[in-house]
Chain A
Amino acid sequence: MAEFRMPSLGADMDEGTLVSWLVGVGDHVERGQVVAEVDTEKSVIEVETFDTGTVTELLVQEGERVPVGTPLAVIAEVAEAAGPVPRRTATRTRPAAKASTKPAPKAGTKPAAKPRTKPAATPAAPAMAAARGTARVAASPLARRHAAALGVDLSTVAGTGPGGAVTTSDVEAAAHATALATSPSAAPARTAEPEHTAAVVDEPAPVAPVVPRSGAERQASMRHAVAEAMARSKREIPHYYLAADVDMARATHWLEAHNASVPVTERVLVAALQLKATASALRAVPELNGHWVDGAHRPAEHVHLGVAIALRGGGLVAPAIHDADQLTVPEVMAALHDLVARVRAGKVRSSEYADPTATVTNLGDQGVDVAYPVINPPQLAMVGFGRVRDRPWAVDGMLTVRPVLTATLAADHRATDGRRGATFLAALDDLLQRPDDL
């Protein structure tokens, strides 16, 4: 029996709205299948399951906004699901407000064994409450940081998330209530006194209504999400920056020859060469590929290369090309092409947002010579590329003109030192001199 949970789709996400279920109770699902659509602050994302089996319960109804980690559905593995599957639909009709205002009321009083005696007849609600009551997080990491930043004592905040989990909205409401309560006095210190928080308990934040967001609202929430992530990055990550000029003559010739020999539909952009070279260089310097989590350096096993993609009309997302180091350059190009199209059509999958191990930004099209990236936490590094421009270049003591690209590395100094960063840039340069081998 596996629980399908609200995924974390980036450092800037602490809750999401279940927009729609693409499967129902009794449906068979395969690992990697898109089973639901979730609305984050940035966009609607197709969420995949990590399990293969049969959906036996839907725990959260469409339109509910729940914290990251909340169980959304129960999936029985094939052997478990061999028996008759109880078709429970009660959860679909359960009001969202009830779920959020009465967090797990009987989880502690009901004997755990009781539901097992009458599996088919047991209403979904107790199972739901039990599942939520045992949720390990009382607050998401983002809510904790938010509370720390605002000087709010989490233990005094009434959580409106399922299981009583405290969300960032709760933290903001508590901070706001405290500020209002203390504003008439001259005391600047925030005092989270019980009587102040009581007001918050009486008026929990309402569940987000199920209405499509307007373009302006989407813009505002996108900006908020980017702001949260970038502020956290600059607050927590001691960046170091290195830059190197790369002679792109060989790479440019390779591209011209390749693109002249294939149909227009298979042409490759210089960005694909840069992405593949970056992925291979990360494989060569694995300390830069991964995450910094709970005060520890966690190198990643795979290279899932995030690509910063600007949305038309503003906003920025950075989903991943999975196992980019294992792909050929044309395959990277196809993946990039597909990703950009899906980002702009709002069809990105959850795994692509959830697991980039390093990210690349390319501002060359905008005429930028040198990019100084801000790392997307909790990643360890971000690589920036400017435009390929003709520059004077010395070769064997002679001055010539070459197409030159400036590559930059922003890296987390907690995880690596400049020397490893320099090794990475040297590897990147070397790889771009050998485009046939990429």
Chain B
Amino acid sequence: MDDAELRDTVLKVLGQVAPEVDLDDVEPSEDLREQFDLDSMDILDLAIGLYQATGIEVPEQDYAQVVTVDGAVEYLATHAVH
């Protein structure tokens, strides 16, 4: 997956975790927890959704790297199995 596809994937997963979020309004560099009032259950759901979409498991200690859209895209790109 290239970056554009990864970005689409991250936004799609975010849409599943928080269906009320208008994906056009997402600020890619801002913390999703603060932007959309996501809690720890939502972040876990985000990690599960990313795993189901890409096969990449985000360990708990790496959650801080995937709580922005930009960060999640970069994380997935870095950890993708080539």
Residues in A lying within 8 Å of B, measured CB to CB = 256, 259-260, 263-265, 267, 269-271, 312-313, 336-337, 340, 365-366
Cβ of B60 to closest chain A Cβ, rounded Å: 5
Given the known interface contacts A312-B18, A312-B20, A313-B20, the answer about A264 and B41 at a Cβ–Cβ threshold of 8 Å is: no
The answer, yes or no, to whether B29 is at the interface (CB within 8 Å) is no
Given the known interface contacts A264-B47, A264-B48, A312-B18, the answer about A337 and B59 at a Cβ–Cβ threshold of 8 Å is: no
Q: Is the CB of A269 within 8 A of B20?
A: no
Instruction: Give chain B residues whose Cβ lies under 8 Å from the Cβ of A265.
Output: 48, 51
Cβ of A268 to closest chain B Cβ, rounded Å: 9
Q: Is the CB of A269 within 8 A of B40?
A: yes
Instruction: Give chain A residues whose Cβ lies under 8 Å from the Cβ of B41.
Output: 269, 271, 336-337, 340
Query: By the criterion of a CB under 8 Å from any partner CB, how many residues of chain B are at the interface?
Result: 15
Closest 9 CB pairs of A and B: A365-B39, A264-B51, A264-B57, A259-B60, A365-B40, A264-B47, A312-B20, A269-B40, A264-B48
In chain A, what residue has the closest Cβ to B59?
A260
Q: Is the CB of A260 within 8 A of B60?
A: yes
Given the known interface contacts A256-B60, A260-B60, the answer about A267 and B44 at a Cβ–Cβ threshold of 8 Å is: yes
What are 21 A-B contacts defined by CB distance under 8 Å? A256-B60, A259-B60, A260-B59, A263-B57, A264-B44, A264-B51, A264-B58, A265-B48, A265-B51, A267-B60, A269-B40, A269-B41, A271-B41, A312-B20, A312-B37, A313-B20, A337-B41, A337-B44, A365-B39, A365-B40, A366-B39
Instruction: Give chain B residues whose Cβ lies under 8 Å from the Cβ of A336.
Output: 41
Instruction: Give chain B residues whose Cβ lies under 8 Å from the Cβ of A264.
Output: 44, 47-48, 51, 57-58
Q: Is the CB of B40 within 8 A of A271?
A: yes
CA distance A270 to B40 in the complex (A): 9
Q: Residues 29-47 of chain B: 1 if any A CB is under 8 Å from the residue's CB, otherwise 0?
A: 0000100010111001001
CA distance A415 to B76 in the complex (A): 54
Instruction: Give chain A residues whose Cβ lies under 8 Å from the Cβ of B47.
Output: 264, 267
Q: Is the CB of B60 within 8 A of A269?
A: no
Residues in B lying within 8 Å of A, measured CB to CB = 18, 20, 33, 37, 39-41, 44, 47-48, 51, 57-60
List 4 other contacts, CB 8 Å, given A265-B48, A267-B44, A365-B39.
A256-B60, A264-B51, A270-B40, A365-B40
Q: Is the CB of B44 within 8 A of A269?
A: yes
Instruction: Give chain B residues whose Cβ lies under 8 Å from the Cβ of A259.
Output: 60
Cβ of B48 to closest chain A Cβ, rounded Å: 5
Instruction: Give chain B residues whose Cβ lies under 8 Å from the Cβ of A313.
Output: 20
In chain B, what residue has the closest Cβ to A260?
B59
Cβ of B25 to closest chain A Cβ, rounded Å: 15
Cβ of B43 to closest chain A Cβ, rounded Å: 9
CA distance A271 to B57 in the complex (A): 22
In chain A, what residue has the closest Cβ to B60?
A259
Cβ of B20 to closest chain A Cβ, rounded Å: 5
Cβ of A312 to closest chain B Cβ, rounded Å: 5
Query: Of residues A264, A265, A269, A365, which shows the largest number of chain B Cβ atoms within 10 Å of its Cβ?
Result: A264
CA distance A365 to B60 in the complex (A): 15
In chain B, what residue has the closest Cβ to A313?
B20
Cβ of A238 to closest chain B Cβ, rounded Å: 32
Instruction: Give chain A residues whose Cβ lies under 8 Å from the Cβ of B44.
Output: 264, 267, 269, 337
Instruction: Give chain A residues whose Cβ lies under 8 Å from the Cβ of B58.
Output: 264
CA distance A259 to B63 in the complex (A): 13
In chain B, what residue has the closest Cβ to A336?
B41
Query: Of residues B18, B58, B59, which shows the largest number of chain A Cβ atoms within 10 Å of its Cβ?
Result: B59
CA distance A312 to B38 in the complex (A): 9
CA distance A366 to B59 in the complex (A): 22
Cβ of A54 to closest chain B Cβ, rounded Å: 39
CA distance A337 to B40 in the complex (A): 11
Cβ of A311 to closest chain B Cβ, rounded Å: 10
In chain B, what residue has the closest Cβ to A364?
B40
